[in-house]
């Protein structure tokens, strides 16, 4: 029997969740994950932005730190209900979650690239033609460490900012626009 060549590896956009796909609660200039399903508000421009990326051939993979679960402040079932909403309303392909607390030392919590690397291995993603989109330094660092191009959504938080993102934008719609433009330029 003839050995089949590997299928072409696909490209992906890795998406942080809070502040990217849904509104973060901002307190004292710092973003917080919503703790209740009632507070989980998907941005109005997220659906069309993601649809545009899908039409460009990107797999869409959410990668999110949810340490409130590991810290015992939020029940994992609440986060799973939020993710059921995301999956129902947005054209995403996969959701990867790090539930560990900051002190657990896991390999998946951003800024480590573990969630991205695992998804790439399991889904056959070419990281060099992929993007990480996030609203915090740790998202950009994780994407860069994984070998992706990076898009920083600047929500003007009062915290450390990435200075090495490939693109700086203000919304998920703008993130999709710059990724699509870069994809056209590569072609
Ligand atoms: Mg975020
Ligand atoms: Zn983790």
Ligand number nearest CA of 16 is 1
Residue 48: active-site member? no
- Predicted local confidence at residue 187, as pLDDT: 80
CB 92 within 8 A of CB 15: yes
- Predicted local confidence at residue 186, as pLDDT: 85
C-alpha 106 – ligand 2 centre gap (Å)? 5
- Predicted local confidence at residue 119, as pLDDT: 97
Closest by Cα among 36, 25, 48 to 74? 36
Q: How confident is the model at residue 8 (pLDDT cuts 50, 70, 90)?
A: low
Mean pLDDT computed over 96-117 = 96
C-alpha 71 – ligand 2 centre gap (Å)? 12
- Predicted local confidence at residue 3, as pLDDT: 52
Q: Which domains does the chain have, with CATH numbers?
A: 11-186 (3.40.50.1000)
Catalytic-role residue among 18, 68, 135, 139: 18
* Residue 5 pLDDT exceeds 70: no
Residue 18: active-site member? yes
Q: Where are the alpha helices (DSSP H) in the chain?
A: 46-55, 67-70, 76-89, 114-123, 137-146, 172-186
3-class DSSP assignment, residue 56: coil
C-alpha 51 – ligand 1 centre gap (Å)? 20
Q: What is the pTM of this model?
A: 0.94
* Residue 87 pLDDT exceeds 50: yes
C-alpha 159 – ligand 1 centre gap (Å)? 12
* Residue 2 pLDDT exceeds 70: no
pLDDT in tens, 30-82: 999 999 999 999 999 999 999 999 999 999 999 999 999 999 999 999 999 99
Q: Give the whole-angstrom CA distance, residue 182 versus residue 60.
A: 17
pLDDT in tens, 112-170: 999 999 999 999 999 999 999 999 999 999 999 999 999 999 999 999 999 899 999 99
- Predicted local confidence at residue 81, as pLDDT: 98
């Amino acid at each position: 029997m003839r050995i089949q060549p590997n299928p072409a590896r696909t490209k992906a956009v890795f998406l942080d969740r809070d502040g990217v796909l849904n509104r973060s609660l901002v307190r004292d200039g710092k973003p917080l994950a919503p703790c209740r399903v009632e507070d989980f508000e998907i941005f109005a421009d997220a659906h069309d932005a993601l649809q545009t990326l899908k039409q460009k051939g990107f797999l869409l993979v959410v990668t999110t730190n949810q340490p409130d679960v590991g810290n015992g402040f939020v029940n994992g079932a609440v986060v799973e209900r939020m993710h059921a909403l995301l999956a129902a309303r947005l054209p995403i392909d996969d959701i990867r979650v790090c539930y560990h607390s900051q002190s657990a030392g896991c390999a998946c919590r951003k800024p480590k690239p573990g969630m991205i690397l695992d998804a790439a291995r399991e889904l056959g993603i070419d990281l060099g033609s992929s993007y990480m989109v996030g609203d915090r330094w740790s998202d950009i660092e994780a994407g860069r460490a994984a070998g992706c191009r990076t898009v920083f959504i600047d929500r003007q938080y009062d915290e450390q900012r990435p200075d090495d993102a490939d693109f700086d934008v203000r919304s998920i719609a703008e993130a999709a626009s710059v990724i699509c433009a870069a994809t056209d330029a590569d072609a």
